[in-house]
Amino acid sequence: MCNLYSITTNQAAIIALFRVINRYVGNLAPMPGVFPDYRSPIVRNGAQGRELATARWGMPSSSKALMDATKKRAEKLQAKGKTVDFKELLRMEPDGGTTNIRNVKSKHWTRWLGTKNRCVVPFNSFSEFNKTEGGDIWFAFDDSRPLACFAGIWTNWTSVRKVKEGETTNDIFAFLTTEPNAKVGAIHPKAMPVILTTPAEVETWMTAAPDEALKLQRPLPDGLLRIVARGVKEDPAGQTT
């Protein structure tokens, strides 16, 4: 599961590479470590063309996951002799979000697989954690960390992300994962992010019918990625131009 990545390329380069028409971000500071629930740039389809926006990392968790969590919380409260309004408790159940999406056939995800809700997530490097190998292991196309992107989905959603915030409405996103290639699999054998490598793949992901777009949910060929850093929570050498 990829729960950490970097995006340090400036927004002018993002706009140029992904042919952005409109942007809804202010100053886009380098982010050598993007963690779950951080606000980070995405490129999505808009009414007039592609838009650069920021969104919080983590799509809604499944209704079952939230129901199970609420039941556990209700049981704890009832054990303390407190009265529980289960409907209200469920509405206010904190949901930090789901960062990675693997089972695209799930009804929970199919509602967001149309072009309206597809996006690409710019990145320079991403990390998979392996304690034996030294902690966070950072991958990129080469040592210069060229700009690339994950295949993602986004939506606008009202929920409780954090208890201290209460109920809020946010643009949120996550990206697809797939089985790993040999390079990533040696560190994290369960999955790797779905990475788009050419303008044609970006165009397919952003515009094609779901059946065609989802053919891109595949591991990268071996030899395209390399390990660029080890054991740090932020990629220390991300480029900024």
Q: Is 240 part of any domain?
A: no
Which pLDDT value is given to residue 24?
Answer: 80
**Is there a single domain that holds both residue 151 and residue 65?**
no
Report the domain count for the chain: 2
Q: Is 65 part of any domain?
A: yes
Pairing, β 22-23 against β 5-7: unpaired
Q: Residue 45: which CATH number?
A: 3.90.1680.10
User: Which residue, 71, 94, 117, sits at the end of a domain?
Assistant: 94
Q: Is 239 part of any domain?
A: no
Q: Does 238 have pLDDT greater than 80?
A: no
Say what percent of the chain tops pLDDT 90: 72
Q: Does 6 have pLDDT greater than 90?
A: yes
Q: Which domain holds residue 54?
A: 5-60+97-230
Q: How many CB atoms lie within 10 A of CB 23?
A: 18
Q: How many CB atoms lie within 10 A of CB 87?
A: 9
**Is there a single domain that holds both residue 208 and residue 101?**
yes
Which pLDDT value is given to residue 65?
Answer: 80
Q: Average pLDDT, stretch 30-54? A: 95
Q: What is the DSSP letter of 215?
A: G
User: Which residue, 52, 69, 94, sits at the end of a domain?
Assistant: 94
Q: Of the segments 20-24, 72-76, 143-147, which one has the largest average pLDDT value?
A: 143-147
Q: Does 186 have pLDDT greater than 90?
A: yes
**Is there a single domain that holds both residue 143 and residue 219?**
yes
**Is there a single domain that holds both residue 48 and residue 138?**
yes
Cite the beta strand spans of 58-160 per DSSP E.
Answer: 100-101, 118-123, 125-130, 135-140, 148-160
Q: Is 211 part of any domain?
A: yes
Among the listed residues 178, 156, 184, 182, the one whose alpha carbon sits nearest the alpha carbon of residue 169: 156
Which pLDDT value is given to residue 54?
Answer: 96
> Is there a contact between 93 and 66 (Cβ–Cβ < 8 Å)?
yes
**Is there a single domain that holds both residue 90 and residue 168?**
no
Q: H-type helices in the chain, by residue range?
A: 11-17, 63-79, 86-91, 107-110, 182-185, 199-207, 210-213
The tokens for 25 are 């971000």
Q: Average pLDDT, stretch 70-88? A: 83
Q: Does 239 have pLDDT greater than 60?
A: no
Q: Average pLDDT, stretch 91-97? A: 82
Rounded to two decimals, what is the model's pTM? 0.90
